Amino acid sequence: MFKIFIKTAPIITEDNENLRLKNKNINKIFWQKLNHFEKMLQENKHMSPQLYYKNIKDAHIHEAIKLNEEKSNDEGYFEAAKNYIWVKRKFHVYHELLHLSSSIVYNNLYYCGFSQETYHYTIGDGLNEGYTSLLEYRYFYYDGAEMCYELEMIIARLIEEIIGKNTMESLYFKADLFNLIKELEKYASYNEIYNFICKLDILSEILNSDILYYSLYPSIGILTKSILKFIEKCKIKKLNNDLQNNKITEEEYQEILNDFYDVTKDLCKKYNPMVLTRKKGLLNN
């Protein structure tokens, strides 16, 4: 099986000047949203704003309806090569701004949050979309942000509980999938982590496909259980470490583990192929 080499993210020169107001290619209807976004970056010092400052100064941000792209199934899109965002509805700009703020294009490789992409492959897209959605909902739910990529978001949150919120957010805004894997290697082997990332990519692609084929539905349950089994292993190893280092009590250990099993049980039920079949109705064979 061909294995993709995960690369370290390039180091970006410090860029602390916000030139957004000088950019004439941003529709003014988004300025209030951009103010909210910049406030979030300022209030969370562990989030690096350098990629946002680098990309926003020449970004294009527009409503999709004015660009004849309203027929697309997507609510919004960020194209890194052109540094271009379009959205159907204003509040969807937060999701795309998170992509913009965690993106680097370097030597024909596109780093975005926890994904890496070339013309030949993409890896980490499921985890990246899940974590982007988690951040979008965490920081902008008050302003209309909707929950999307639900399964991927919950899986990303479970990974964050293992690694730590500030650490994972910091790595995201540096587009640092490489060191995210290093953090997880405290609890699992590289091959196990790599397989987890790939399985989540496949699962996300199936769930978000324009056409859902009935024949693929058994794969959803199998992939979900396999992904959760990997997270369970990491979770238990972290809890054991915390218990040995007196960071938690035995009662807290059991309480945290029970909460984890409640979440995973609900996910297995919700993404059971039979349940999905009933919810989706008639599917393609």
| Residue 283 or residue 262, greater confidence | 262
pLDDT of residue 75: 79
Which of 185, 181, 186, 161 is CA-nearest to residue 171? Answer: 181
pLDDT of residue 96: 96
User: What percent of the chain has pLDDT above 70?
Assistant: 86
Question: Is residue 269 in a domain?
Answer: yes
- Quick check: helix, strand or coil at residue 141? helix
The answer to whether residue 237 scores a pLDDT higher than 50 is yes
pLDDT tens string 187-215: 999 999 999 999 999 999 988 876 665 66
**Using CA atoms, how far apart are residues 176 and 10, in angstroms rounded to an integer?**
9
Question: Is residue 140 in a domain?
Answer: yes
pLDDT of residue 144: 63
The answer to whether residue 281 scores a pLDDT higher than 50 is no
Burial of 171 (0-12, 13-18, 19+ CB in 10 A): buried
**Using CA atoms, how far apart are residues 55 and 84, in angstroms rounded to an integer?**
10
User: What φ, ψ does residue 190 adopt, rounded to 5°?
Assistant: -60, -45
- DSSP tag of 14: P
Question: Is residue 11 in a domain?
Answer: no
Report the range of poorest mean pLDDT among 53-57, 64-68, 85-89.
64-68
pLDDT mean over 48-57: 92
pLDDT tens string 111-142: 999 999 998 899 999 999 999 999 999 999 87
Burial of 265 (0-12, 13-18, 19+ CB in 10 A): exposed
Asked if 168 and 241 touch (Cβ cutoff 8 Å), the reply is no
Based on C-alpha coordinates, what's the Rg of the chain? 20
The answer to whether residue 285 scores a pLDDT higher than 80 is no
**Using CA atoms, how far apart are residues 68 and 215, in angstroms rounded to an integer?**
35
pLDDT of residue 90: 83
Question: Is residue 99 in a domain?
Answer: yes
Residue-range definition of the domain harbouring residue 239: 22-280
Report the range of poorest mean pLDDT among 108-112, 129-133, 218-222.
218-222
Counting every residue written for the chain, the total comes to 285
Angle of CA points 124, 90, 167, to nearest 5°: 35
Burial of 208 (0-12, 13-18, 19+ CB in 10 A): middle
**Using CA atoms, how far apart are residues 65 and 62, in angstroms rounded to an integer?**
9
Tell which phi-psi region holds residue 266, choosing left (phi > 0), alpha (psi between -120 and 50) or beta: alpha
Question: Is residue 157 in a domain?
Answer: yes
| Residue 89 or residue 230, greater confidence | 230
Question: Is residue 5 in a domain?
Answer: no
pLDDT of residue 138: 94
Asked if 175 and 111 touch (Cβ cutoff 8 Å), the reply is yes
CA-to-CA separations, 263 to 88, 201, 224, 260, in angstroms, rounded: 32, 21, 12, 5
Q: Is the dihedral of CA 236, 238, 239, 240 positive or negative?
A: positive
**Using CA atoms, how far apart are residues 112 and 206, in angstroms rounded to an integer?**
21
Question: Is residue 16 in a domain?
Answer: no
The answer to whether residue 71 scores a pLDDT higher than 80 is no
- DSSP tag of 110: E
**Using CA atoms, how far apart are residues 240 and 217, in angstroms rounded to an integer?**
35
Find all residues with CB under 8 Å of 211, minimum gap 6, and list them.
Answer: 284
For the question of whether the overall pTM of this predicted structure is more than 0.85, the answer is: yes
pLDDT of residue 2: 64
pLDDT of residue 119: 85
pLDDT of residue 216: 75
pLDDT of residue 233: 97
User: What percent of the chain has pLDDT above 90?
Assistant: 66
Structural domain count of the chain: 1
DSSP symbols for 227-268: HHHHHHHHHHHHHHHHHHTTSS-HHHHHHHHHHHHHHHHHHH
Amino acid letter for position 22: K
Question: Is residue 3 in a domain?
Answer: no
